[in-house]
Structure 1
Amino acid sequence: MISRYGTFFSLLLLLLYCIPCTSAAEQVLVLQIEDSITPASDDILADAMAFAKEGDYQALVITLNTPGGVVDATFNMMEQITTSDVPVIGYVYPEGTKAWSAGTLLLISTDVAAMAPFTVIGSAQPVTVTPSGSEPVNDSKIVNALVATAQENARKHGRNDTAAGLFITENLNLNPEKALEYGVIEYIASDLNDLLVQVDGREVKGRELRTSGAEIVFYEPPLRLFFMNIISDPIISSLLLLLGVYALILGLSNPGFGAELFGIVAIALGLIGTGFDVNIASIFLVLVGVALLVIEFHSPGFGVFGIAGLVCIVAGSILLAPTDFPRNYTPAEFQQTIILSVVAPTLVMGLFLLFVLYKVAVLRHSKPKFGELLGDSAIAQDPFAPGEFGYVRHKSEMWKARSEEPIEKGDKVEILEKDGTVLIVKKIP
């Protein structure tokens, strides 16, 4: 009897032990890359890969919806995908999205590449924005390096290396059907479940994928990486720097409200977000603009220093926005969007700051309000005896008043001085 029960409990324990193993083996981790690839993106990918490896996930699916981003971070991510033991599936998703420029290079570097319907890849020609529009980067050293990298990754995964090169040299764009026809991707999938059914049984990195019906787990980065990803967005980091500059100007011009402390914190966060990769010319222009605005604040009126300072800061903000290659590997349209997203708030904040500084300067240089009352006349609104209080009207304002002589209603009085909120008056003969 004991032996029978012992055998039963042993089988039960073995079953309970095997259940979590089976569950973990049928999970797929999904990392969502949305918007720009930032300096924090490669750290997020590294953490997601470690998470997938420790949890024995079947694969890591990277969903791509990005205009591109930082070249160094993209190359680091491509290297991580190559060296990782975890099968990595690149998937342009959801419908109607795109993986342009650096996003395209990232897709063709994954172990399995797929696209959702109505998505687009390509536009990988490096460009720089100019006052007249945009120009392609024609430096053969840069272009050849990008082409060689893209083609080598394509060949490694058995993909069309000619198309990989044309993404860069000819700005080739492909929809899912053409990408599949040209051998750039392996699958077209309507959603994540459809993708996992299609790749089920495929051998990747020495293991057979068992993904059909697998549980989909969405990766959530730790708080540190989540915060870094936010502030490293090119628009957010640029605006943090400029907001910090304006707060610093306001704090230096009118100390005591803590604006300068906020400015220092915002500038520090902006610099961390950019990875301290800031255009020196933009910093110089912004500093000149700060100096001119401070001079304007201390000058007698609103004039040329304030306008010149605002122009310098706006010009500096254009250079501050990371739109040039290789700081930002995105199509020209997105680079122009970044410039507009940074310059427009900069202009609004600058005009508002000039208005505030002008108002503060007017108050500081104006005579005290009460000094203008001395010697003026007012009209008594009711009678009051010597030492008692009554009310007088000065222009459209009602003031509490007292006098050393009797005052009758309607008498015209002269304002001599002020005692707290009370006017000292005397009757005008």
Structure 2
Amino acid sequence: MSVERVSRFLPVLFLCCILATAFGTPAGAGPEEKVLVLEIAGAITPASDNVIVDAIEKAENEDFEALVISLDTPGGGLEETQVFIKEMENTSVPVIGYVPESGKAWSAGTLILMGTDIAAMAPFTVIGSAQPVQMSAEGTEPVEDEKIINALVKFSVSTAKKHGRNETFAEEVITKNKNLDAEEALASGVIEYVSPSIPDLLDQVDGEEVKGKTLETGNARTETYEPPLPLAFLRLISNPVISSLLLTIGLYGIIFGISNPGAGAEIFGVIAIVLGLIGTGFDVNIGAIFLIIVGVGLMLLEIQSPGFGVFGIAGLVSLVIGSIFLVPMGAENIYTPEFRRTLTLTIVTPTIVFGLFLVFAVYKVAESRKKKPVIGAIIGDSARTIEAISPDKPGFIRYSGEYWQARSEEEIGKGEKVEIIGKEQEMLVVKRKS
């Protein structure tokens, strides 16, 4: 190719280079960074521990830059709180605690906030009041046992020390129920940032060194964590109000069922108590298996009883709830989210189909019990001959779309209308319809 021809293409090549520079991918650019946001609203319950485990595993497996825990809680169980903090400390993912606008992180929430790698609060939010309390007939009472108080203080101080936070506050928040607003917490070294929103907070922490990792959160995309179906249901019944209500309804249901046999209230009472126990921390797998066994038993019992009623409904409910709880929870390191969704459908769908099949079977059994005996039902019905019938020569008639052999004490021609007056083994006895 001559120099003259090459020179003709130089302007075009130059323009292509400019466009590539303007619209191409910048050098060193990598995939978009993302941050997982877990919202904790309400009390810290046994379900909260399952949720934090699942969220952490999702963040680890899907390469999230950090996990932000948005805390708006009045507190919760001590054991659950300790498990929650332990899970945060054991993960390699940087954990950022944040009290959102109009939120609060009292009691257990304060301890969790102090256990995060980076702690932050929105303006005008409050943390504190972590003295343990216990339930009583009159409501809640402060725990005065020095053994419990000293152990909790040591745990709180150790957590604060591990993250370089104010150890005095970590003690006084328990012994004196001390409270701090956002500005006071920042000035006291309890938190590191005050921010009005999560995006603003991510801009502030960009470049921080956490767990040997430099955070790149300035332009990160946020994704809100959504728990799988079993965890969402467990989260619902773990609410202290709902779990207590389930236990109360279950108790009264059993009492009512015993005092009024046949109503079936005791069955719903047992189911409510099992759900209430699961909500308060009872082993989920044992509860799931128990519900499935109860469900199958109730469906079989319904087949033996007339009509489709409380046993069938309660059995179907038990089967479905039990199968939902059988789906493995907190196993992101073993199963991908897509596989877990498939697993949920694989377990729950056959249960629903099986339950509906049992419902259909119960309906058919009930329907057959309501039917009159076949012989009594057809006497007096009308049919039509499809061939001539006589006393010496039986023939066939058409009845309800079916062919029946019949005989008559009189001569009846083909195509005539007859009335069924009896049955002898497999043969009908008819007469001419008047």
TM-score band w.r.t. shorter chain = 0.5 to 0.7
**SS of 1:40 mapped into structure 2:** helix
**SS of 2:46 mapped into structure 1:** coil
Pick the aligned partner of 1:127 from 133, 157, 170.
133
Is 1:58 matched up with 2:104? no
One-letter amino acid matched to 2:241:
I
Equivalent residue number for residue 47 of structure 2: 40
How far apart are 1:276 and its partner, in Å? 4.0
One-letter amino acid matched to 1:152:
S
Equivalent residue number for residue 96 of structure 2: 89
How far apart are 1:274 and its partner, in Å? 1.2
One-letter amino acid matched to 1:182:
S
Equivalent residue number for residue 212 of structure 1: 218
TM-score by length of 2: 0.57
Once the two structures are superposed, the pairs formed by residues 152-191 of structure 1 within 5 Å of their partners are 152-191=158-197
How far apart are 1:127 and its partner, in Å? 2.8
Q: Does the C-alpha gap of structure 1 residues 275 and 198 become closer, same or farther in structure 2, counting only changes over 3 Å?
A: same
Is 1:273 matched up with 2:282? no
How far apart are 1:269 and its partner, in Å? 0.6
Structure-2 separation of matches of 1:176 and 1:269: 39
5+ unaligned residues in a row in structure 1: which ranges?
1-10, 278-429
1:150-194 CA-partner distances (Å, limit 9, x unpaired): 111111111111111110111000000000000000001101111
Identity of aligned residues (%): 56
One-letter amino acid matched to 1:22:
P
Pick the aligned partner of 2:83 from 76, 79, 88.
76
Structure-1 separation of matches of 2:206 and 2:67: 14
Equivalent residue number for residue 37 of structure 2: 30
Equivalent residue number for residue 263 of structure 1: 269
CA RMSD for the aligned pairs? 2.3
One-letter amino acid matched to 1:43:
N
Is 1:150 matched up with 2:156? yes
Q: Does the C-alpha gap of structure 1 residues 219 and 255 become closer, same or farther in structure 2, counting only changes over 3 Å?
A: same
One-letter amino acid matched to 2:179:
N
Equivalent residue number for residue 253 of structure 1: 259
One-letter amino acid matched to 1:88:
V
How far apart are 1:135 and its partner, in Å? 4.5
Equivalent residue number for residue 193 of structure 1: 199
Once the two structures are superposed, the pairs formed by residues 267-306 of structure 1 within 5 Å of their partners are 267-276=273-282
Is 1:232 matched up with 2:238? yes
Structure-1 separation of matches of 2:140 and 2:97: 30
1:350-377 CA-partner distances (Å, limit 9, x unpaired): xxxxxxxxxxxxxxxxxxxxxxxxxxxx
How far apart are 1:248 and its partner, in Å? 2.0
How many equivalent pairs are there? 260
Which structure has the larger Rg over C-alpha atoms? 2
**SS of 1:69 mapped into structure 2:** coil
1:35-61 CA-partner distances (Å, limit 9, x unpaired): 000011111101100000111001000
One-letter amino acid matched to 2:167:
D
One-letter amino acid matched to 1:124:
A
Structure-1 separation of matches of 2:29 and 2:251: 54
Structure-2 separation of matches of 1:131 and 1:22: 57
Structure-2 separation of matches of 1:111 and 1:249: 50
**SS of 1:61 mapped into structure 2:** strand
Structure-1 separation of matches of 2:193 and 2:173: 19
TM-score by length of 1: 0.58
Equivalent residue number for residue 316 of structure 1: none
5+ unaligned residues in a row in structure 2: which ranges?
1-19, 284-434
Q: Does the C-alpha gap of structure 1 residues 54 and 71 become closer, same or farther in structure 2, counting only changes over 3 Å?
A: same
Greater displacement, 255-264 / 173-182? 255-264
Structure-1 separation of matches of 2:167 and 2:113: 13
Structure-2 separation of matches of 1:73 and 1:248: 30
Structure-1 separation of matches of 2:86 and 2:61: 20
Structure-2 separation of matches of 1:245 and 1:146: 34
Once the two structures are superposed, the pairs formed by residues 308-387 of structure 1 within 5 Å of their partners are none
Equivalent residue number for residue 338 of structure 1: none
Equivalent residue number for residue 320 of structure 2: none
Once the two structures are superposed, the pairs formed by residues 136-147 of structure 1 within 5 Å of their partners are 136-147=142-153
How far apart are 1:131 and its partner, in Å? 6.8
Q: Does the C-alpha gap of structure 1 residues 19 and 203 become closer, same or farther in structure 2, counting only changes over 3 Å?
A: closer
One-letter amino acid matched to 1:155:
K
**SS of 1:36 mapped into structure 2:** coil
Structure-1 separation of matches of 2:217 and 2:158: 28
